[in-house]
Amino acid sequence: MRIAYFINQYPKVSHSFIRREILALERQGMVVQRIALRGWDGELQDSEDLAERDKTQYVLQAGVKGLLKPLWQVLCAQPRRFLATLWLAARMGLRADRPLPYHLVYLAEACQVVQWLQASGAEHVHAHFGTNSTEVVMLANALGGPAFSFTVHGPEEFDKPQFLQVGEKVRRAAFVAAVSSYGRSQLYRWVAHEHWAKVRVVHCGLERSFHDVPAAAIPAAPRLVCVGRLCEQKGQLLLLEAARKLAAQAIPFELVLAGDGEMRPQIEALIARHGLQAQVRISGWISSAQVREEILAARALVLPSFAEGLPVVIMEAMALRRPVLTTYVAGIPELVRPGDNGWLFPAGAVDELATAMADCLAQPVEVLQRMGEAARQRVLERHDIDTEAAKLARYFEACA
CATH code of the domain occupying 212-382? 3.40.50.2000
Torsion of CA 34, 36, 42, 45, to 10 degrees: -30
Q: Helix (H, G, I), strand (E, B), or coil: what is residue 380?
A: helix
**Cis amide leading into 79 (omega within 30):** no
DSSP string, 125-142: EEEESTTHHHHHHHHHHH
Condensed to tens digits (0 to 9), the pLDDT of residues 288-329 reads 789 999 999 999 999 999 999 899 999 999 999 999 999 999
**pLDDT reading at 365 higher than 90:** yes
- Write down the pLDDT at residue 400: 81
Parallel, antiparallel, or unpaired: how do β-strands 199-201 and 324-327 relate? unpaired
Condensed to tens digits (0 to 9), the pLDDT of residues 320-358 reads 999 999 999 999 999 999 999 999 999 999 999 999 999
**pLDDT reading at 212 higher than 80:** no
Q: Which residues pair with 227 in a beta bridge?
A: 258
Architecture of domain 2-205+384-399: 3-Layer(aba) Sandwich (3.40)
Share of residues in the chain with pLDDT > 90 (%)? 89
**pLDDT reading at 46 higher than 90:** no
Q: Are the C-beta atoms of residues 224 and 191 closer than 8 Å to each other? A: no
Residue 274 CB neighbours (<10 A):
17
Mean of the pLDDT values across residues 56-70?
A: 96
Mean of the pLDDT values across residues 41-66?
A: 90
Condensed to tens digits (0 to 9), the pLDDT of residues 232-262 reads 999 999 999 999 999 999 999 999 999 999 9
**pLDDT reading at 15 higher than 90:** no
- Write down the pLDDT at residue 179: 96
Q: Are the C-beta atoms of residues 50 and 44 closer than 8 Å to each other? A: yes
- Write down the pLDDT at residue 107: 98
**pLDDT reading at 211 higher than 80:** no
d(CA 33, CA 56): 7
- Write down the pLDDT at residue 47: 83
Q: pLDDT grade, residue 221 (50/70/90)?
A: very high
What pTM was estimated for this model as a whole? 0.89
List, in sequence order, every beta strand (DSSP E) within the chain. Answer: 2-9, 31-38, 56-58, 124-128, 147-152, 175-178, 199-201, 223-227, 254-258, 280-282, 300-303, 324-327, 342-345
- Write down the pLDDT at residue 210: 67
What single-letter amino acid sits at 315? M
Spatial neighbors of 128 by CB under 8 A, at least 6 apart, are: 5, 6, 7, 15, 18, 150, 151, 153
Domain limits, CATH 3.40.50.2000, in the chain: 2-205+384-399, 212-382
Residue 297 CB neighbours (<10 A):
15
d(CA 259, CA 286): 7
d(CA 260, CA 267): 10
Residue 207 CB neighbours (<10 A):
20
Q: The dihedral of CA 161, 165, 171, 177: what is its sign?
A: negative
**Among the listed residues 262, 242, 363, 253, the one whose alpha carbon sits nearest the alpha carbon of residue 303:** 242
Q: What angle do CA 320, 322, 326 make, to 5 degrees?
A: 125
Condensed to tens digits (0 to 9), the pLDDT of residues 130-188 reads 999 999 999 999 999 999 999 999 899 999 999 999 999 999 999 999 999 999 999 99
Share of residues in the chain with pLDDT > 70 (%)? 99
